Amino acid sequence: MTQPASQRKDGARVAIIGVGTIGSNVAFQVYNKLGKKELVEDIILIGRNEEKVACAAEEIHHSNDGSISTRLKHSTVVDSAAGCDIIVYSAGRTIKPHETREDLLRENGSIAADVRKGLSLKGTEIFITVTNPVDVLNTYFSRELGLPANNVIGLGGMLDSARFRHTVVDYLRRALGVPLVPSDVKNAFVLGQHGAGLTPLFERLELPPDIPVLSSRAIEKIRKEMGEIVPRIIRVRKCADFAPATHITRMIELLLQDTESKIECCSLVPPMVFQKHYAGEVLDVSFGVPVTLKRGGARPITIDILEDSRQRISNGVRDIWSNVQQLYDYVVGNERVGNLIRLGT
C-alpha cells in the first residue's frame, strides 16, 4: 500500500487531473517552487489528450535550470492519481464572458462524474477541487470519493480573500491617496460561496491605525468592485489562471508541512457545528470557511462574525445546495446516490 508523505523519507507525489490553462500553470509552479524546495518528488500530469499532456510535461521540464530533481510524468489514465499525496482536480472548461459559474454545472459536472468513476483511491489522498462551480463539485467529490471530509478541499476562499485585500487597498489608494500595499491589510476573510454569493467579512478587516473605518458607502463600493473582477479578467484574458495557480501551489505547500498554517479560507464540507455557526443551518455542502492547513488536510476553526454576514453566507449556501441537487439530477437522474439526501426525500 502506498504510504502518505508523512511516513516516507522522500518527497511527495502530486497528480494534476486536467492539464489546461490552470492545470499546466499549477504544474509549472509546483515543479519550480516546490521542486526546488525538494518537497515534491513526482508530478503526474493526467489528461485525455496524450500529445497535449506529453508536450506540457516536456515544456515544464525545459524550465529546469539543473537544480530540480523532481520527476515529471504524464498519463491519460485517471487512476494514475491513486495513492498520490495530493490530487489537484482542474478538468473541465473555464467560464466564458457573461456566464456564471453555475452555467458550467452540466458540462463540468458530467466530466467530474466520469473522473470519479475512474478513480480508485487509497483513502490517504488529499483532493483539491479547482474546477467551477467549485463549491458544488467539491461537495460532490466529498460525498463520492470516500475520503475524509477534511481531505477534500476546494479552492475559493483563499483566492477570494486575496482579491478582497487587493480591492480594499486599491479603493483606499484612490479615496485617500495613501500608499498602502496588500500586506497593510490584515484578516481579509471571504467566506461562503465562491462566486456571486461570496461574503467578505468587513467586520474582521484590520486596517492601519491611521486609516478611518470604512463607511457603509465604501463597503458597498468595494463589494461592487469585487463582483467586477472576474468578468473583467475573463472578458480581456479569456481566463483567470495566474492567481488561482499561485494559491493552489501555496495550498499544496502548506498541506505538505508538519506545522499548522495561519488562518486561511477554503471550501469544504465542515462539521455540523461549523455549518451552524457560519450559515445558521446544516445543509452538508461545501462552502468557504476559515481553516488551518497542514499535512493531513484542512481543520475548520471558529471566528466571530456578524449576523448580517451569517445571513449572506446562508443565502450562498442555499444556492450551492440547490446547484448540488441539479448536479445529481444532471448526472444520475432522480435516484439517490452515495450519501447525498436530495431535497424532498
Residues forming beta bridges with residue 190, ordered by sequence position: 200
Question: Strands, E, within the chain: which ranges?
Answer: 12-17, 40-46, 71-75, 86-89, 126-129, 152-154, 190-192, 198-200, 264-268, 287-294, 297-300
CB 292 within 8 A of CB 270: no
Q: What's the CATH number for 10-155? A: 3.40.50.720
Model confidence at 4, pLDDT cuts 50, 70, 90, reads low
Q: State which amino acid sits at residue 110.
A: S
pLDDT of residue 243: 96
pLDDT digits (tens, 9 = 90+) for 172-216: 999 999 999 999 999 999 999 998 889 999 999 999 999 999 999
How many CA atoms lie less than 13 Å away from 131 in the CB half-sphere?
31
Cell numbers representing residue 227 in the block: 463582483
- Sketch the domain layout of the chain as residue ranges: 10-155
Q: State which amino acid sits at residue 22.
A: I
pLDDT of residue 182: 95
Q: How is residue 80 annotated by DSSP?
A: G
- Which residues, at least 6 apart from 191, have a Cβ–Cβ distance to it below 8 Å? 157, 198, 199, 201, 265, 278, 287, 288, 289, 290, 305, 309, 313
User: Strand 12-17 to strand 86-89: parallel, antiparallel, or no bridges (unpaired)?
Assistant: parallel
Whether pTM > 0.85 for this model: the answer is yes
Peptide bond between residue 133 and the one before it cis (omega within 30 degrees of 0): yes
| Angle of the 105-118 helix axis to the 134-144 helix axis, nearest 10 | 30
Residue 93: alpha-carbon gap to chain centroid: 16
Among 105-114, 162-171, 296-305, which stretch is predicted with the lowest mean pLDDT?
105-114
CB 239 within 8 A of CB 130: no
Residues forming beta bridges with residue 186, ordered by sequence position: 206
CB 116 within 8 A of CB 85: no
Model confidence at 102, pLDDT cuts 50, 70, 90, reads confident
Cα torsion for 82, 84, 88, 93, to the nearest 10°? -30
User: Strand 297-300 to strand 287-294: parallel, antiparallel, or no bridges (unpaired)?
Assistant: antiparallel
- In DSSP notation, 253-264 reads HHHT-SSPPS-E
Model confidence at 100, pLDDT cuts 50, 70, 90, reads confident
- In DSSP notation, 13-32 reads EEEEE--SHHHHHHHHHIII
Query: What's the rounded Cα separation, in Å, for the pair 333 and 107?
Result: 15
Query: What's the rounded Cα separation, in Å, for the pair 265 and 152?
Result: 14
pLDDT digits (tens, 9 = 90+) for 276-307: 999 999 999 999 999 999 999 999 999 999 99
Q: Is the dihedral of CA 38, 57, 108, 76 positive or negative?
A: negative
Q: In sequence order, which ranges of 75-189 are alpha helices (DSSP H)?
A: 105-118, 134-144, 157-176
User: Strand 12-17 to strand 40-46: parallel, antiparallel, or no bridges (unpaired)?
Assistant: parallel
Model confidence at 342, pLDDT cuts 50, 70, 90, reads very low
